């Protein structure tokens, strides 16, 4: 973790570039363009001249994108980001803030962790952290902490950062990691999101970094994936969270999706698959299903 030229400002350096995704700018941009993504530099530069109130409404957008290595899941994640870009082009919407949600895959005390870093670096350039929103979220609950350590080695958000930088280069980010899946933690995040995002939803995008299911038994993994898709389409927080707590679904971002549903920020909208789910071999002998989902305003 390096520092900028301004004292006290930290940077979160990439740790899986060149492993999970390319580390060279020209290779990255070619890969992203091949998935139909548009370099947002010109559009975002133009949009930054106008106030946030020009958003067509105050309805937040949300997508689910997988966090595997790009050769396996990059094109799937690209479909989710492309759906948002297509809406921008159609409706003259402009994303100014991207909240990235992921489970923390290593052991930690059960909390939601926000980053202390001022910037997250990518091979395409830096992404500034919305530190003001960080503090507002942290003030909502003692279960939400501004603490960098979980962020420094977690890959699940990092693999999506080049897509954010390419598609929405003027956006600030709010990286959010959840360690644990207890009901109090989920409700704490749900209430914080509802409180803090109420006035800036129309310029914000929530990206949930998650698979669709995982299980050592391929048949069970498929059944769990189908259950997940059915439950998330219903947009019912209590039903979804009950299935997650009972082990009926196994998406690694399930608790975060439950918190998002419980926040009511997506009320009146529906998650829709953007492509058929894809089966792959995961770690520890698991069968994993990946997919891309979009929840449009």
What are the tens digits of pLDDT across the range 103-118?
998 877 899 999 999 9
**What's the pLDDT score for residue 201?**
76
Q: Is residue 231 part of a domain?
A: yes
Q: Is residue 143 part of a domain?
A: yes
**What's the pLDDT score for residue 203?**
86
Q: Is residue 287 part of a domain?
A: no
Q: Which residue do the tokens 């909240």 mark?
A: 99
Instruction: Kindly give, in sequence order, each residue whose CB lies less than 8 Å from that of residue 101, ignoring residues fewer than 6 positions away.
Output: 176, 178, 206, 207, 208, 209, 253, 256, 260
Q: Is residue 151 part of a domain?
A: yes
What does the pLDDT look like over 184-221, one tens digit per residue? 999 999 999 999 997 777 789 999 999 999 999 999 99
What does the pLDDT look like over 31-41, one tens digit per residue? 999 999 999 98
Q: Is residue 261 part of a domain?
A: yes
- Over range 8-13, report the average pLDDT: 82
- Kindly state the tokens that stand for 75: 């094109």
Contact between residue 285 and residue 216 where contact means Cβ atoms under 8 Å apart: yes
**Alpha-carbon 141 to chain mean position:** 21
Task: Give dist(CA 40, CA 164) in Å, integer.
Answer: 10
| Structural domain boundaries, residue 70 | 28-281
Q: Is residue 17 part of a domain?
A: no
Q: Is residue 267 part of a domain?
A: yes
Residues in the chain: 297
**What's the pLDDT score for residue 8?**
56
Task: Give dist(CA 271, CA 284) in Å, integer.
Answer: 29
Number of domains in the chain: 1
Contact between residue 217 and residue 191 where contact means Cβ atoms under 8 Å apart: no
What does the pLDDT look like over 248-297, one tens digit per residue? 999 999 999 999 999 999 988 999 999 999 999 877 788 999 999 999 87
For the chain, what is the mean pLDDT?
A: 89
**What's the pLDDT score for residue 291?**
97
pTM, to two decimals: 0.91
Burial label for 29, CB within 10 Å (0-12, 13-18, 19+), is middle
**CATH number where 264 lies:** 3.40.830.10
Q: CA–CA distance from 11 to each of 86, 99, 120, 122 (Å)?
A: 31, 18, 6, 10
- Please state at what angle helix 25-34 crosses helix 70-91, rounded to 10 degrees: 70
Q: CA–CA distance from 58 to each of 170, 189, 199, 233, 297 (Å)?
A: 19, 20, 8, 22, 9
Q: Is residue 7 part of a domain?
A: no
């Amino acid at each position: 973790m390096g520092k900028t030229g301004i004292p006290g400002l930290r940077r979160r350096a990439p740790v899986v570039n060149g492993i999970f995704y390319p580390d060279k700018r020209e290779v990255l941009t070619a890969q992203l363009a091949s998935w139909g993504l548009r370099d947002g530099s010109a559009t975002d530069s133009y949009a930054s001249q106008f106030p946030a109130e020009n958003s067509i409404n105050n309805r937040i957008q949300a997508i689910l994108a997988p966090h595997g290595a790009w050769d396996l899941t990059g094109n799937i994640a690209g479909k989710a980001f492309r759906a948002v870009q297509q809406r921008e082009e159609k409706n003259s919407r402009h994303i100014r803030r991207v909240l990235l949600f992921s489970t923390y895959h290593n052991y930690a005390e059960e909390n939601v962790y926000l980053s202390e870093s001022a910037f997250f670096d990518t091979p395409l350039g830096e992404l500034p952290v919305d530190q003001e929103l960080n503090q507002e979220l942290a003030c909502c609950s003692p279960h939400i902490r501004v603490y960098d350590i979980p962020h420094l080695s977690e890959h699940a958000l990092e693999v999506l950062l080049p897509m954010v930088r390419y598609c929405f280069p003027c956006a600030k980010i709010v990286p959010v990691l959840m360690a644990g899946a207890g009901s109090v933690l989920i409700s704490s995040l749900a209430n914080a999101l509802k409180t803090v995002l109420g006035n800036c939803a129309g310029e914000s995008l929530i990206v949930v970094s998650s698979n669709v299911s995982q299980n050592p038994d391929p048949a069970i993994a498929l059944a769990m994936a189908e259950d997940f898709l059915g439950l998330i389409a219903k947009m019912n927080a209590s039903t979804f969270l009950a299935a997650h707590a009972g082990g009926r679904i196994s998406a690694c971002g399930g608790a975060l999706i439950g918190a998002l549903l419980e926040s009511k920020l997506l009320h009146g909208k529906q998650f829709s698959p953007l492509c058929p789910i894809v089966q792959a071999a995961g770690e520890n002998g698991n069968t994993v299903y990946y997919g891309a989902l979009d929840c449009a305003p």
